[in-house]
Copies of this chain bind each other. A is one copy, B any other.
């Protein structure tokens, strides 16, 4: 059986990717990071999703040695109510330096230990938030690094990074995941960790637009706000 490490954040994209990997026949090992996020809700949801998918999982605590990102620091302001154009053009304050580089490196270590074939990540370059480490060129460079920098890479069995959502719009992602019965009601996108999504941060806005364009109901909205706002 093919084996994969799947980066699982508890959000909509990484949950979709987990269900894509399962659908492609991979035994999935979910890697969940506790890296000082503003809230722990997404970690709790990620664990629930891994259990629902009946996958092995690990929660890895990384004390990131940097400050200044609004994603990590509760005292800085999150961007809100930004237009799609603004989101596409400006790297926001939620940017965490080298975050995917760190996550993928630890995934690579686990994947090499498992002699796994692939690492799955939910990055996408379309409805993304302007992060440099979510672009195809970045993943190409990382695949080259894994060929050079791992024992199994040199021995002609490289680990490849799979980013199956890289060129997908949010609405397409939602359609794919819904078709695979991904448990979107368990996912959490909002940058805030309150009881209900804030509806104004970048992540909430992208999610709302995605479900609208897909013509589907968001089960999380239904659960949190009832049908009226869904």
Contacts and interface: CB of A to CB of B under 8 A. Distances in A.
Interface in A134-166: 135, 137-138, 140-142, 144-151, 153-154
A83 interface: no
Nearest to A154: B132
Given A97-B113, A109-B64, A113-B68, A145 B151 contact: no
A72 B96 CA distance: 29
A97 B101 contact: no
A26 interface: no
A60 B61 CA distance: 11
Nearest to A64: B109
A142 B148 CA distance: 9
A105 to B, nearest CB: 4
Contacts of A142: 145, 149
A18 interface: no
Contacts of A108: 97-98, 101-102
A65 B106 contact: yes
From A60, A65, A146, residue with most partner B Cβ within 10 Å: A65
Interface in A99-133: 99-102, 104-106, 108-110, 112-113, 132-133
A65 B138 contact: no
A65 B110 contact: yes
Given A60-B63, A97-B112, A99-B109, A149 B138 contact: yes
Contact of A149 (B91, B141, B154): B141
Contacts of A101: 105, 108-109, 145-146, 149-150
A138 B148 contact: yes
A146 B144 CA distance: 13
Contact of A148 (B31, B112, B113, B137): B137
14 contacts: A31-B65, A97-B112, A97-B113, A97-B150, A98-B106, A100-B149, A101-B145, A102-B108, A105-B105, A133-B148, A138-B148, A140-B148, A142-B145, A144-B145
A-B residue pairs, 8 tightest by C-beta = A97-B112, A66-B113, A98-B109, A105-B105, A98-B108, A102-B105, A141-B145, A101-B105
